[in-house]
Amino acid sequence: EPEVTQTPSHQVTQMGQEVILRCVPISNHLYFYWYRQILGQKVEFLVSFYNNEISEKSEIFDDQFSVERPDGSNFTLKIRSTKLEDSAMYFCASSEILLAFFGQGTRLTVV
Amino acid sequence: AQTVTQSQPEMSVQEAETVTLSCTYDTSESNYYLFWYKQPPSRQMILVIRQEAYKQQNATENRFSVNFQKAAKSFSLKISDSQLGDTAMYFCAFMKGVTSGSRLTFGEGTQLTVNP
The reply to whether A18 falls in a domain is yes
Q: How far is CA A11 from the centre of its chain?
A: 13
How far apart are alpha carbons B75 and B58 in whole angstroms?
Answer: 10
* CATH code (residue A53): 2.60.40.10
In chain A the beta strands, taken as DSSP E runs, fall at: 5-7, 10-13, 19-24, 31-37, 43-50, 53-57, 65-68, 75-79, 88-95, 100-102, 106-110
Instruction: Pick the closest to residue A18 from A75, A71, A64 (CA basis).
Output: A64
Task: Specify the pLDDT at position A16.
Answer: 97
Count of structural domains, chain A:
1
What do you get for the CA distance between the two ends of chain B, in Å? 41
Instruction: Pick the closest to residue A35 from A90, A105, A77 (CA basis).
Output: A90
The reply to whether A107 falls in a domain is no
Task: Specify the pLDDT at position B44.
Answer: 86
B37 contacts on A by Cβ (under 8 Å): 102
Contacts A–B by Cβ distance under 8 A: 59
The reply to whether A101 falls in a domain is no
A101 and chain B in contact, CB less than 8 A? yes
User: For B61, what's the count of Cα atoms within 13 Å in the CB-facing half-sphere?
Assistant: 12
Instruction: Pick the closest to residue A21 from A81, A90, A71 (CA basis).
Output: A90
Domain containing A55: what range? 5-95
The reply to whether A56 falls in a domain is yes
Task: Specify the pLDDT at position A71.
Answer: 85
B105 and chain A in contact, CB less than 8 A? yes
Tell me, what amino acid is at A61? F
**Is residue B39 a contact partner of residue B93, using CB atoms and an 8 Å limit?**
no
Domain boundaries, chain B: 3-97+104-115
* Contact yes or no for A58 and B103 at CB 8 A: yes
For residue B5, the tally of other CB atoms under 10 A from its CB is 13
In this structure, CATH architecture of domain B3-97+104-115: Sandwich (2.60)
A102 contacts on B by Cβ (under 8 Å): 37, 44-46
Q: What is the pLDDT of residues A5-28, one digit of tens each?
A: 999 999 999 999 999 999 999 998
Task: Specify the pLDDT at position B98.
Answer: 64
pLDDT less than 70: residues of chain A: none
Name the pairing type of β-strands B64-69 and B60-61: antiparallel
Min Cα separation A66/chain B (Å): 17
**Is residue A78 a contact partner of residue A68, using CB atoms and an 8 Å limit?**
yes
The reply to whether A103 falls in a domain is no
Task: Specify the pLDDT at position A46.
Answer: 97
Task: Specify the pLDDT at position B87.
Answer: 97
pLDDT less than 50: residues of chain B: none
What phi-psi label fits residue A51: left (phi over 0), alpha (psi between -120 and 50 degrees) or beta? left
